[in-house]
Amino acid sequence: MFLALTLLLPIPVSNRKKNKRILSEKSYGKLTARERILLLLDPDSFDEYDMFVEHRCSDFGMDSNKNKYPGDSVVTGRGRINGRLAYVFSQVWFCLLSLVTDFTVFGGSLSGAHAQKICKVMDQAAMVGAPVIGLNDSGGARIQEGVESLAGYADIFLRNVLCSGVVPQISLIMGPCAGGAVYSPALTDFTFMVKDTSYLFITGPDVVKSVTNEDVTQEQLGGAKTHTAVSGVAHRAFENDIDALLNLREFFNYLPLSNRDPAPVCECHDPSDRLVPELDTVVPVESTKAYDMLDIIHSIADEREFFEIMPSYARNIVVGFARMNGRTVGIVGNQPKVASGCLDINSSVKGARFVRFCDAFNIPLITFVDVPGFLPGTAQEYGGIIRHGAKLLFAFAEATVPKITIITRKAYGGAYDVMSSKHLRGDANYAWPTAEVAVMGAKGAVQIIFRGKEANAEAEYVDKFANPFPAAMRGFVDDIIQPSTTRMRICHDLDVLASKTQSSPWKKHANIPL
């Protein structure tokens, strides 16, 4: 029996003390680089590379034997996650000598040798077509090595860019990550963080204080909360190392191994023709009342499972992975519960990046639309909502994976066009009976058309446009469907669309409005 179970009962404090590693503050609450790999990969599946590599620096007494560690400050290799190949590097913030003593390997800092080891696994991963997972825990550049260390960073950045769109790249930030080092995670497809122990920033609080005179803590400046809720740099944060690594394993199951692989298909026990009766009542009668888009997503997904990406950032749009009849799909949905589900700068960028990832890796897209439009205001216009909103439009239009769209309620104005509409090469576009496809809400429309002179005009406009028929008559939605049949329809469409091929005119690459 290889499982161990713990009922969540309080453990007496005395026992906890006994079990705790008495370590320096630096390693408090952290696992070692190798323990992390042990948890991430299947048992006995890790094949390590370059265990004998040492750094080549001879200045500042670095060539003495006590300053040399076999493998230097990173562990690299390949292994399997639920049987599927992955390349891994795990930076060494500290090592354990015994249960009570630890030491750091130059604070996990990046030497030329360290970078070379990472580049080797990235090259192999791109060649065989398998994802790269980085477990980042590094103090930054190895200052003793000078420009050699900077060159090492650049070598990694180049490979991050070349691998982008070829194999999925995932960064899990498990400790400090500052200065130039932050750009490697930023270039990868997904960045996850561990709460309370990981930080990402260009310059630390001391430099900030001396330059801008701002008082700020590490946590406020670049902690998990900041990056998952405010800056949008990280895609999700986890409670601790174990939680993060176990979630990473779960997340990995959704991903194809490379851009040449189709979206993975799991064995599915949830019937594909399952009716979902609660969807018939999920949209409230009053069109001003909010509901939770996550309720819809959970209820149609296989076994109600949904891996949400960026759950705390730009919450007016929901993005994440789920499975339909066993096949991975990317789901995008406006969230009426937050800011009425409108599109603004942050939500457009969040949506656009997710859509492009799915398109790059052959993951079908399912879009749930309930959008009252783009958010008006000076803050948005000055911030460049036109430019940023265009990103989402660009991403949906460019995507050639199967695209299925369900309009649950409002699809107003330009936002209707943007949200994977039929006009942007949508494959199957459906409307629920509650859908309203119009240029704007009835009140505003009537004010413009009649300047308030027509008393019954509002009712007429509602009659004409606050329903899915005008769009259905023009073929802009393929069908008006009973909400409870949504899962069934999507699964049938995905089956058919599995063999979809579509291409765009030849180009070096498109010019997305960055």
Give the pair of three-digit tokens for residue 347: 């939500």
CA distance 146 to 56: 12
Pick the catalytic residue: 129, 180, 204, 232? 180
When the beta carbons of 153 and 199 are compared against another protein, the nearer one is: 199
Residue among 138, 151, 145 nearest 178 (CA): 138
Please give the C-alpha separations between residue 124 and each of 51, 100, 130, 411, 445, in angstroms, as whole numbers: 17, 37, 8, 46, 58
Q: Which of residues 247-266 bind another protein (CB under 8 A)?
A: 247, 249-251
Count Cα atoms within 13 angstroms, Cβ side, for 244.
32
DSSP single-letter state for residue 110: B
Does position 514 interact with another protein (CB under 8 A)? The reply is no
State the number of binding residues for another protein (CB under 8 A): 49
CA distance 379 to 383: 6
Binding-residue pattern over the window 163 to 202 for another protein, x denoting contact by CB under 8 A: ---------------------------------xx-----
- Give min distance, CB of 372 to another protein, in A: 22
For 10-30, the three-class secondary structure string (H helix, E strand, C coil) is CCCHHHHHHHCCCCCHHHCCC
| Identity of the residue numbered 200 | L
Is there a contact between 231 and 224 (Cβ–Cβ < 8 Å)? Answer: no
- Known active-site residue 107: no
- One residue of 19, 64, 501, 511 binding another protein per CB under 8 A: 19
Does position 209 interact with another protein (CB under 8 A)? The reply is no
When the beta carbons of 42 and 123 are compared against another protein, the nearer one is: 42
Does position 5 interact with another protein (CB under 8 A)? The reply is yes
Give the pair of three-digit tokens for residue 113: 């040798």
| Identity of the residue numbered 190 | F
Does position 34 interact with another protein (CB under 8 A)? The reply is no
- One residue of 61, 146, 262, 277 binding another protein per CB under 8 A: 277
CA distance 370 to 386: 20
Does position 439 interact with another protein (CB under 8 A)? The reply is no
- Known active-site residue 180: yes
Is there a contact between 345 and 388 (Cβ–Cβ < 8 Å)? Answer: yes
Does position 270 interact with another protein (CB under 8 A)? The reply is yes
Does position 7 interact with another protein (CB under 8 A)? The reply is yes
- One residue of 8, 100, 455, 473 binding another protein per CB under 8 A: 8
- Give min distance, CB of 320 to another protein, in A: 13
Does position 102 interact with another protein (CB under 8 A)? The reply is no
Piece of 68-76, 235-243, 309-317, 499-507 that binds another protein (CB under 8 A): 235-243
Instruction: Name 201's bridge partners.
Output: 178
- Give min distance, CB of 86 to another protein, in A: 16
- Three-state DSSP at 386 gives helix
Does position 381 interact with another protein (CB under 8 A)? The reply is no
Give the pair of three-digit tokens for residue 292: 């939770």
- Known active-site residue 444: no
- Known active-site residue 414: yes
Does position 340 interact with another protein (CB under 8 A)? The reply is no
Pick the catalytic residue: 179, 223, 389, 441? 179
CA distance 391 to 353: 8
Piece of 184-192, 234-242, 374-382, 390-398 that binds another protein (CB under 8 A): 234-242
When the beta carbons of 277 and 376 are compared against another protein, the nearer one is: 277
What residues have CB less than 8 Å from 138, skipping those under 6 apart? 73, 91, 93, 107, 108, 109, 110, 175, 176, 177, 181
CA distance 417 to 393: 8
CA distance 367 to 277: 20
Piece of 48-56, 202-210, 268-276, 329-337 that binds another protein (CB under 8 A): 268-276
Does position 269 interact with another protein (CB under 8 A)? The reply is yes
Active-site residue set: 179-180, 414-415
Contacts to another protein by CB under 8 A: 1-8, 16, 19-21, 28-31, 35, 38-39, 43, 196-197, 238-243, 246-247, 249-251, 268-271, 277-282, 285, 295, 298-299, 302-303
